[in-house]
Copies of this chain bind each other. A is one copy, B any other.
Amino acid sequence: MAESANAVEATLEQLLPAPHGLHARVHEAMRYAVFAGGKRLRPFLVLQSARLFGVDSAQALRTAAAIEVLHTYSLVHDDLPCMDDDALRRGRPTTHIAFDEATAVLAGDALLTIAFEILADAPTHPSAEVRCRLVARLAAAAGSNGMIGGQMIDMQAPDRAFGADDIIHLQRLKTGQLFEFACEAGAILGEAGDADRERLRLYARDMGLVFQITDDLLDVLSTAEKTGKAVGKDKDQGKATLVSILGVDGAHAEATKIARRAAETLSPYGAAAAELRELPLFLLDRDS
């Protein structure tokens, strides 16, 4: 994972504009947000799924970079005072604290915009049909019926009595759909059939659930020092999570069950999918 992260860093470095001109501040804020030492989990999913279908690594890296900048935009906007109001992210001041709110809004907008530019440009894939499919699928996953819809529900969540099904629905939109696209992207780049695309999405759906449950567990069990962000926020904000409904042990047991199912989904790919199959089990044990 660290190895692929290095290649992704280099690709991001090359694709993001160097600060220049009277508007250099927005470039600086884009880079501040992107080069913050994240786990690069979504790029890892793209690169691993691309390997299953023999995709050229330069194509996979550009696609991985596009998803990562889009993911970063969502963090920058979600951290804004009018949204989750977070001052700390990965142990550093969030973008609106390090710069200002207007710059953070604009930097987020610019990261969202450049994600589509990267995918649409010719070096991403020789087939324009493939590039259009990537653009359309990413837009659907990130749009008002995907990630943005999930954040909209989340912003209203303290007002509502949510059950486990609602929470799973919310999380599938808010984080799950981008995971699904990251995993499916390899199959799209490899021009694989519908069955492969569906299998990768199924895996990603479970993997995303495991990621979210462990994230909620960390919010309860870990420290700000380890996670690099505020903890205990869900409870303070009165947000229902699977952990608050199932309890710590119940949630961990559920996540373990889902992690095994995710690994099983990819068994048709054998050893080539070893790292993807280990990932959900690895996430279960993370402490940050």
Give the B-binding residues of A (Cβ under 8 A): 17, 21-23, 25-27, 30, 73, 77, 80, 82-83, 100-103, 105-110, 112-114, 116-117, 119-122, 127-129, 131-133, 135-136, 139-140, 142-145, 148-153, 155-156, 166, 169-170, 173
Contacts and interface: CB of A to CB of B under 8 A. Distances in A.
Nearest to A128: B128
A77 B105 contact: yes
Given A106-B152, A110-B143, 6 more contacts: A21-B149, A26-B152, A112-B112, A113-B142, A113-B148, A127-B128
Contact of A117 (B117, B143, B153): B143
Q: Is the interface of A mostly helix, strand, loop or mixed?
A: helix
A126 to B, nearest CB: 11
Contacts of A100: 82
A117 B132 contact: no
A80 B140 CA distance: 25
Number of copies: 2
Contact of A143 (B113, B139, B149, B150): B113
A113 B70 CA distance: 10
Contacts of A135: 116-117, 119-120, 132, 135
A84 to B, nearest CB: 9
Contacts of A144: 17, 23, 26-27, 30, 106-107, 110, 113-114
Which interface residue of A122, A142, A169 has the most chain B CB atoms within 10 A?
A142
Contact of A139 (B106, B117, B145): B117
Contacts of A155: 102-103, 106
5 contacts: A77-B106, A103-B152, A103-B155, A113-B139, A128-B132
A240 to B, nearest CB: 13
Given A80-B105, A136-B121, A110 B148 contact: yes
Given A131-B128, A144-B113, A26 B106 contact: no
A22 B153 contact: yes
Given A135-B120, A135-B135, A148 B77 contact: no
Nearest to A114: B143
